[in-house]
Amino acid sequence: MKKPIILCVDDDAQVLAAITRDLRQEFRKDYRILSVGSGPEALTTLDELQARTEPLALVLADQRMPDVEGVEVLTHARALFPQAKRVLLTAYADTSAAIRAINSAQLDYYLLKPWDPPEQLLYPTLHDLLDRWQEVYRPQFDGIRLVGFQWSPLSHELKDFLSGYMVGYQWLDFEKDADAAPLVAANGFTAADLPVVVCADGQALAKPDKQVLGRHLGLLVEAKQELYDVVVIGAGPAGLAAAVYGASEGLKTLIIEKQTPGGQAGSSSRIENYLGFPTGLSGAELAHRAWSQATRLGAEFMAPEEVIDLCVQDGYKVLTLSDKSEIRARAVVLTTGVSYRTLDAPGLDRLSGAGVYYGAARTEARSCSNQPVYIVGGGNSAGQAAMYLSTYASQVFIIIRGDNLAASMSAYLIEQISQTPNIQILPRTQVREACGKHSLEAVVIQQEGRAPEKQPARALFIFIGAKPSTEWICNLAICDPKGYLLTGRDLVADPRYKESWKKEREPYLLETCVPGLFAAGDGRAGAMARVASAVGEGSMAIKFVHQYLDE
């Protein structure tokens, strides 16, 4: 963040040197001190500062200067920087002119020369003026800016993408923020090009592809090695744990993620039952810590990139990516996790990303300020989302089909919800329709035994269970009827699958029917849907990778 500027102007070189010295001695920690030796030079400097959008806090200008007097400099400063404080430096004989200038040029103060000692005659006055300026100063954001429409699904996707990688960005609503339209126009775009991402280096991207945006974030989008010891597919808790242990134990490790780190856990607003964090932490924070740890230990992280096929050639696993490039590995760990099931009701597909969201969608919480929101689902993810949204929304309604939350939600969350006055449980209730022209405006809900009711709603968050993200691999590895990957003893204990295992040894605990292809986390049959369990399985997978590679 740039330091604000204090500008001093005097045509007397000796006086200018003295004021510059005194200002730097007292204020250089928090401000940049600029000095110029004439009125015309001061006007040019002010123009340049405005062009560079530099923050100007204070201008001190001597009154009696040839060509351009101090009052003219301060008047020009007021036109360009209305919030900057303006001080006139004057001799005792010119005090009457200075007093008149307080009204004509709207000066904030005038100081008599000399100001010795500055501790008494200079610093107290300037501190007071600068404190008043700081009260209204809003620093310009110096990072990525995202301009779009609030209810645009693509804008929502980009917000989630940036948040998922914990990249700080400024959101500008094109219809509400005064800075949005000028910023878009300055980069040669129009409203038809939205959303627009303006990167920290000044480059602007219209409707950017996530891979292009990933390059600007410094993410790896091309593999560095021809052959890896282990490739981890999916960067949820299980995949991140596998990457940490694989890299720390000297394996050439690559982790590939098609969206953002953390998986479903990464969207949780607060995880309070994970060992070692007594006050809890967000899923995004946990994922970011694990990602940083894995890359520090030497793992390569490729994102956003999707694996669309996997085959075995001469014992090596060949992965085909969405861009048709290939990566070879000696072993692979599948940690693709699960995705939220969609809800079938009129209007939901049409308004998805425009008020209807699958998962926590924490980036949209502020848009729900002082308005009602609905949550569908009774699991821990739904409960965590309800607690988070309750700090913004006027009312949070949790819709469940059952009688209560006890069967599907942890006790600590049920207790927190019961103590939150603006959260209400709607038992034996279903969503029948989502209503709104361009964004969600209302939901039609129906409680068992009652007629449907239409209720106003700013957002609808859906958590109705999950399905494994294994469709692309089921032609190679065996899945159970629900699509979860079968591993270890489940392969040889069931007569239906026993013939699929061709080696003399039994499969390792997390090994699929393909030797050297392992599965961990929520996408594996029999896995426990808990963050700690997923981390444990990802760590265990590397132990079995070592055993497989040593054969």
Encode pLDDT of 374-383 as tens digits: 999 999 989 9
Name, in order, each residue with C-beta under 8 angstroms of 120's C-beta and a sequence gap of 6 or more: none
Q: Is 291 in contact with 220 (CB distance < 8 Å)?
A: no
Q: Please state whether beta strands 356-358 and 459-462 pair in parallel, antiparallel, or not at all (unpaired).
A: parallel
pLDDT of residue 102: 65
Residue count of the chain, please give it: 551
Mean pLDDT for the stretch of residues 306-323: 94
pLDDT of residue 9: 94
pLDDT of residue 166: 83
Pick the CATH number of 5-136 from 3.40.50.2300, 3.40.50.300, 3.40.718.10, 1.10.287.610: 3.40.50.2300
Q: What percentage of the chain carries pLDDT values higher than 90?
A: 67
d(CA 45, CA 178): 26
Mean pLDDT for the stretch of residues 283-308: 92
pLDDT of 319 strictly over 80: yes
pLDDT of 490 strictly over 70: yes
Q: What burial class does residue 539 get, using C-beta atoms within 10 Å of its C-beta: 0-12 exposed, 13-18 middle, 19+ buried?
A: middle
Encode pLDDT of 259-284 as tens digits: 889 888 877 878 888 889 888 888 88
Encode pLDDT of 399-458 as tens digits: 999 999 998 899 999 999 999 999 999 999 999 999 999 999 999 999 999 999 999 999
Q: Which fold has domain 227-339+467-549?
A: FAD/NAD(P)-binding domain (3.50.50)
63 CB-side CA count, 13 A? 23
Do 144-216 and 227-339+467-549 agree at the fold level?
Answer: no
d(CA 158, CA 206): 12
Q: List residues bridging with 455 in a β-sheet.
A: 443
Encode pLDDT of 30-48 as tens digits: 999 999 999 999 999 999 9
Instruction: Give the global pTM.
Output: 0.75
d(CA 424, CA 100): 64
**68-72, 219-223, 363-367, 373-377: which is most confident:** 373-377
pLDDT of residue 1: 62
Q: What's the CATH code, domain 144-216?
A: 3.40.30.10
Q: List residues bridging with 265 in a β-sheet.
A: none
pLDDT of 352 strictly over 90: yes
The pair of structure tokens assigned to 103 is 């009204």
Encode pLDDT of 88-143 as tens digits: 888 765 666 666 666 666 788 888 888 889 998 899 999 999 999 998 887 777 78
Q: Is 202 in contact with 182 (CB distance < 8 Å)?
A: no
pLDDT of 81 strictly over 60: yes
Distances (CA, A) of 207 to 102, 148, 198: 50, 10, 11
Domain ranges of the chain: 5-136, 144-216, 227-339+467-549, 356-464
pLDDT of residue 201: 80
Distances (CA, A) of 220 to 47, 145, 293, 301, 526: 41, 22, 16, 6, 33
pLDDT of residue 94: 62
pLDDT of residue 108: 83
Pick the CATH number of 356-464 from 3.30.10.20, 3.50.50.60, 3.40.50.150, 1.10.3720.10: 3.50.50.60
pLDDT of 363 strictly over 90: no
Residue type, 145: R
Nearest Cα neighbor of 451 from 469, 438, 432, 434 is 432
Nearest Cα neighbor of 356 from 338, 336, 337, 376 is 376
Encode pLDDT of 1-28 as tens digits: 678 999 999 999 999 999 999 999 999 9
